[in-house]
Structure 1
Amino acid sequence: MKKTIKALKFPIVFLLIALSFIACDKEFSVIESGVLGKGNANFLTDSMEVPITAYNKKLNTLQINNLSSNLLGFFDDPEFGQTTASIVTQVTPTSFNPTFGVDPVIDSVVLSIPYFSKIIGSNTDGNTYSIKDSLYGDADAGIKLSIYHNNYFLRSFNPNSTNSPQNYFSNGGNNGVGPTDNSAFTENNTINFDDHKGILLQNITFKPSAEAIKTSIGEGSDKVTVLSVPALRTFLDDTEDTKNFWKTTFIDIEGRPELSNPSNFYDYFRGLYLKAEAIGGKGNMILLDINSTNANITIHYSKGEENSRTQDVYTLNFRGGNKVNTFINNYTTTFTDGNPNLGDETLYLKGAEGSMAVVDLFGNEDVDDDKIPDALEDFIDEFRIPDPDDESGYLKDNTTGNFVLKKLINEAQLIIYEDQSLTISSQDEDYHKYDRIYAYDITNNSIIADYEADLTENTQSPFSSRIFHLGQRDTDKKYKIRLTQHLNNILLRGSTNTKIGLVLSTNVNYINNAEILNSDDDVTAIPAAAILSPRGTILHGSAGSVVPAEKRMKLQVFFTDPEGN
Structure 2
Amino acid sequence: MKKTINALKFPFVFLLVLVALVACDKEFNVIESDVLGKDNANFTTGDTLLPVVAYNQKLSALQINRLGSTSTTGAAAASLLGVYNDPAYGLTKASIISQVTPTSFNPDFGENPQVVSVVLNIPYYSTANGTDDEGHVTYKLDSLYGNTEQPIKLTIYQNNYFLRDFDPNSVAENSQNYYSNGSSDSNSALTGTSTILFDNHIVNVDTPIFVDNEFIPSNEAIVIETGEGDDAVTSRSEPAFRVELDNDFWQQTILDKQDDPVLSNANNFKNYFRGLYFKAETLGIDDGSMILLNLASSKATITITYEKGPTDARTESTYTLNFSGNRLTTFINNFTTNLENGDAASGDEKLYLKGMEGSMAIVDLFSGDVDCDGDGIPDMDALECFKQTYRQTDENGEYRFDPLTRRFLLKRLINEAHLIINEDEDMNTGDDEDYHKYDRIYAYDLENKASTIDYIVDQSGNTVNPVNSKIISLGQRNSEGTFKIRLTQHLNNILLNDSTNTKIGLVLSTNVNYTNNSKILNSANNVDAIPTASIISPRGTILYGSKGIPEKEDKKLQLKIFLSKGKED
- The TM-score normalised by the length of structure 2 is 0.88
What's the C-alpha RMSD, in Å, of the aligned pairs? Answer: 2.2
**Partner residue of 1:15?**
none
Match of 1:254 in 2: 258
How far does the alpha carbon of each residue in 1:137-164 deviate from its partner, in whole angstroms, 9 at most, with x for none? Answer: 1111111000011111000111111231
Identify the residue that residue 8 of structure 2 maps to in structure 1. none
Any residues of structure 2 matched to 1:268-283 within 5 Å, and which? 268-281=272-285, 282-283=287-288
Indicate how the Cα distance of structure 1 residues 159 and 562 shifts in structure 2: closer, same or farther if over 3 A, else same.
same
Find the aligned partners of 2:268 and 2:162 in 1 and give their Cα distance: 12
Note the alpha carbon deviations across 1:517-548, whole angstroms, 9 max, x for none.
10011211111111111111111000144353
What are the residue-to-residue correspondences of 1:289-300 with 2, within 5 Å? 289-300=294-305
Task: Decide whether the 8 Å contact of 1:34 with 1:492 is kept in 2.
Answer: no
Tell me if structure 2 keeps the 8 A contact 1:34–1:402.
no
CA contact (8 A) 1:34 1:403 kept: no
Gaps of 5+ in 1: 1-19, 238-242
Partner of 2:412: 407
SS of aligned partner of 2:95: strand
Matched, 1:396 2:401: yes
Go from structure 1 to structure 2 and tell me whether the alpha carbon gap of 1:109 and 1:377 turns closer, same or farther (over 3 Å shift): same
Change (3 A) 1:308 1:388: farther
Tell whether the 8 Å contact from 1:38 to 1:562 is kept in structure 2 after alignment: no
Please tell me the residue identity of whatever aligns with 2:147. D
One-letter amino acid of the structure 2 residue matched with residue 524 of structure 1: D
Partner of residue 517 from structure 1, selected from 515, 521, 534: 521
The equivalent position to 1:385 in structure 2, one of 388, 392, 397, is 392
Q: Which residue of 1 aligns with 2:127?
A: 118
* Structural mapping, 1:376-455, within 5 Å: 376-387=383-394, 393-421=398-426, 423-425=427-429, 427-455=431-459
Contact 2:129–2:140, Cα closer than 8 Å, also in 1:
yes
For the residue of structure 2 that corresponds to 1:424, the secondary structure is: coil
Equivalent residue letter for 1:287 = L
Percent identity of the aligned residues?
54
Cα shift readout 1:314-353 (whole Å, capped 9, x = no counterpart) = 11111x3111100011111111100000000011111111
Instruction: Check the 8 A contact 1:33/1:405 in 2, yes or no.
Output: no
Aligned 8 A contact 2:33 2:41 in 1: no
Q: Choose from 548, 553, 558 the match for 1:549.
A: 553
Change in Cα spacing, 1:31 to 1:362, as seen in structure 2 (3 Å) is farther
Q: Match for residue 175 of structure 2?
A: 165
Instruction: Report the CA distance between 1:426 and its aligned residue.
Output: 7.4
Letter in 1 for 2:416: E
Q: Please tell me the residue identity of whatever aligns with 2:137.
A: N
Q: State the match for 1:314 in structure 2.
A: 319
Count of paired positions: 521
Match of 2:193 among 181, 188, 193: 188
Amino acid at match of 2:176: Q
User: 2:290 maps to what in 1?
Assistant: 285
Q: For 1:412, what is the secondary structure of its paired residue?
A: strand
Using the size of structure 1 for normalisation, the TM-score is 0.88
| Cα distance in structure 1, aligned partners of 2:408 and 2:39 | 20
Q: Matches of 2:31 and 2:119 in 1, distance apart?
A: 55
Counterpart of 1:128 (choices 138, 141, 153) is: 138
SS in 2 for 1:184: strand
- Partner of residue 155, structure 1: 164
Q: Which residue, out of 193, 209, 230, partners 1:201?
A: 209
Q: Distance in 1 between matches of 2:328 and 2:31?
A: 43
Question: 1:274-294 CA deviation, whole Å, 9 max, x = no partner?
Answer: 000011222111111222111
Report SS of the residue matched to 2:104.
coil
Question: 1 CA distance for matches of 2:400 and 2:105?
Answer: 66
**Partners of 2:430 and 2:99 in 1: CA distance:** 40
Q: Matches of 1:326 and 1:54 in 2, distance apart?
A: 30
1:283–1:32: structure 2 CA closer, same or farther, 3 Å change rule?
A: farther
Match of 2:95?
A: 86
Q: Could you say what secondary structure the match of 1:159 adopts?
A: coil
| d(CA) in 1 for partners of 2:236, 2:203 | 33
8 Å CA contact 2:368–2:382 kept in 1: the answer is: no
1:214 corresponds to 2:239 = no
The one-character-per-residue Cα deviations of 1:303-323 (angstroms, maximum 9, x if unpaired) are 1222222211111111x3111
Matched-pair contact (CA < 8 Å) for 1:468–1:482 = yes
**2:544 paired residue number:** 540
